[in-house]
Structure 1
Amino acid sequence: MLQAALNSGTADRRAVFEVFARHLPNGRRYGVVAGTGRLLDAIEAFSFDEAALEFLSARGVVDETTAGWLEKFRFTGNVWGYPEGECYFPDSPILVVEGTFAEAVLLETVVLSILNHDCAIASAASRMVQAAQGRPLIEMGSRRTHERAAVAAARAAYVAGFATTSNLEAGRRYGVPTAGTSAHAFTLLHDSERHAFEAQLASLGQSTTLLVDTYDVERAVRTAVELAGPSLGAVRIDSGDLGVVARRVRAQLDELGAHDTRIVVTGDLDEYGIAALAAAPVDGYGVGTALVTGSGAPTASLVYKLVARSDGPEDDAPMRSVAKRSAGKPTRGGRKAAIRRVDARGTAYSEVLTTGEPTPGPRDRLLHVPLIQDGTVVGRETLEAARERHARAVRELPATALQLSKGDPALPTEFVDGGPRP
């Protein structure tokens, strides 16, 4: 597309692309914007070095003119978006990219690959956090996904409310708090469970978490408290009927005087499994496979669509709306502003998209914030800020948003034709 546009003289036309999802995964009530910070880093670093240009030219992917254009490429346009941690709904324009067609079209794959993954993980994580009802969750999915995706998943889960991750690279790179437990292999390494517990306690202290279901749970709990005393930090259960086993372990810990020893459960948990344990004496959850695969929705199904373009390369050339009309996948033309309507009780009740100048009410929120201006990143923020924003955004949603049963999106999306925007 770039090469053909350069050849036809249309590459320098101003263009506006929007990122949105036509629908949420089946039964989901809201989505979560995540990956924005990673995306800003990626756009800032997006360039073509000598090796990349040699590959493209040698394979005949691009001609000499296009290779010369790519050699000088740096994104110089503008990007607006829903800030990280915000909730979104069908058709929400969570990212708006404005620049020349040539510059903007090159970003499509990097934009979609980052946002589709991170939004999917954060959306699943948010449902799990709500199901946990204030109990902490540990992200433990690194062994169930690509090694780089694992780091991104840990970051996205933290934005959505997970307390910690077992992925140390996510801790090093992004500052996500880290935590973990030993595996069955550590117990099996030793001549007995007692020897394994003694070794772990000697190295890590009484606040550690002991895995108690390698052999016999009741015996393991008794041994753990005998060795660590009533100040043992936690025990982990990874198998069996977790609710039933947790109740038995809680009763046993209390009988042994270990009233403050926490119970952490793991084992193929998802939001439904977590919700089913709401009445069980569980103090925390470790979640792996379901989280890093989006709990059945591994992509957010986001698309990157051209919605407006100029009639010529001149700065003052008029802009016009453009849209697909194909059956099943039509789009709405025109650059859109997004408003979250909020009632007097502080509860959101609709998402309004307009192609005209937005007119928010006194309690409403404009959702787009500047992320890149004239090629310079202006929207960086801390991961904690995104995490706090998500907590606020969820509190603002109606109660139906938190239901795990299948249903419609929590907020309807309303379109207002306000005329063309520059």
Structure 2
Amino acid sequence: MKIAYFDCFAGIAGDMIVGAFLDAGLPFDRLEQELKKLNLTGWQISAQKIKKHGITGTKFSVKVYHHHCRHHHHRNLQDIEDIIRHSDFDEPIKETALKIFQRLAIAEAKVHGTSINEIHFHEVGAEDSIIDIVAAAIGFHHLKIDKVMASPLTTGTGFVKCAHGTIPVPAPATVELLHGVPYRHGDIAEEMVTPTGAAVLTSLCSEYRTMPEIITQAVGYGAGDRELPIPNLLRVHIGEISHASQREQVWVIEASIDDMNPEFISAATEQLLASGALDVYVSQVLMKKGRPGLVIHVLTPGDIREQLGQILLQHTTTIGYRYYPVWRQVLHREKVSVNTAYGSVTVKVAMEGEKIMNIAPEYRQCLELAKTHKVPLKQVYNMALKEYYSKKTD
């Protein structure tokens, strides 16, 4: 699995993301050729090496020539979707760019109390911002990144001027985009996380945490415009997670309950798992005053901890929960599809380096096939194992 880990020590912006991808190996000529598929005129891109506090990074810039086109600041979501859909990009690039703009439209609409179809983009509707977002999508796919991870963000403080007037930092749209993302304001009175940067990152990123063990293939630095007390750079590490067992930090959420219908436990557990919990289990305990009760334990990534905590409050009778960080060691896992006489089954394979440690066909798939063909579950399960070993030796 190819990982891109964004180290956001100075925040994140759209041009910084593109600059980091260029610095990490995205060819400038390839990016320029791809962007011509947008069918927008009157723009030119450039990239140059600059230094921030002695560290060299790539500054990506977009220059717009047709000043009479500035009314396009007021494009709505439909306008931008039409531009992207009528472009000549490959479908994955179109889908990624559309996902980013749709996410941004939802945030802007909520802030301004309107619908996503009525919201008009201002700064983000201009040619330079469209190019920033589309260029980020191009870089993501050209570098063949499978998963994006990022550090917690520092947003900055103070105020910034925009088309609506003077607004606080982080901008309201940025705050909406960062729901569920760990961030802090910090001490620098500048806008360090822009709406464009937040929209791109939160559309691509699946996990916010300290950097995992990565076998690095490239490191890139994308430079921002301003001079800050710290290096105004976004660092991206691109590489692969080793097939060895991985140590990662997660969180445990717990709630003690002694007054709930036991039938509700299953529904709460299913809701937690469907919402991204890594594991959910229940322990029986003896509570105060000698009453029998139970504890629901939820294992979760840090970025959705609050979301899962809310599910506990909504779907159980607990009036509070506790949480704490833990470390877990996990084997590398792969999924292999095998064809049996009853149908296709996914086989999960756990590995330590190149050594196979455990193999397990997907239980629910085997169960459904067993019901459909009216045969014992173990018959489908064992056939899936047999087909996996047969496929492996071919």
Please classify the TM superposition score into its range, dividing by the shorter chain length: under 0.3
Relative contact order higher in (CA < 8 Å, ≥ 6 apart):
1
Instruction: Give the alignment's TM-score, normalised by structure 2.
Output: 0.23
Instruction: Give the alignment's TM-score, normalised by structure 1.
Output: 0.22
- Say which structure is richer in strand: 2
